[in-house]
Amino acid sequence: EQKAEAPTRHAALILCCALKFSSTLYVGNLSFYTTEEQIQELFSKCGDVKRIVMGLDKVKKTPCGFCFVEYYTRADAEHAMRFINGTRLDDRIIRTDWDAGFKEGRQFGRGKTGGQVRDEYRTDYDVGRGGFGKIIQMQKTNHQTIIY
């Protein structure tokens, strides 16, 4: 089994730029029982939602604790990042992060088999996990100043 190579500086810069201009959010720490309608109701308070893609267990095709929310504009997505990250939905504190954009297959999560499933027993929000994490992480990884 070969390990995947670390992303090149060029690939990291492309990802960082995609995140900077993205209007798509990753939403994590959702209850397995949270519905698409609940997501729509909450996130539409920040702007017009273009689409919602619920994360699914690859085998059972049931929700598994995350989704992608795409807005029509970056400004609306920024409002959602600012006002919804860290709020409570279905007794769970949800976290939002920028996403480079949904691609088919990502609804099954990360990893080789798409087996990213979060258990319902995880208690609460971890401050270090959400927010502007990917952009900040990319800046630290590249050890360079990125001009916006």
Angle, helices 36-43/74-84, rounded to nearest 10 degrees: 100
pLDDT band at 112 (very low <50, low <70, confident <90, very high): very low
Average pLDDT over residues 27-51: 97
Q: Mind listing the pLDDT tens digit for each residue in 57-102?
A: 888 888 889 999 999 999 999 999 999 999 999 999 999 999 877 6
Mean predicted lDDT score pLDDT of the chain: 76
- What global pTM score does this model have? 0.65
Domains detected in the chain:
9-136 (3.30.70.330)
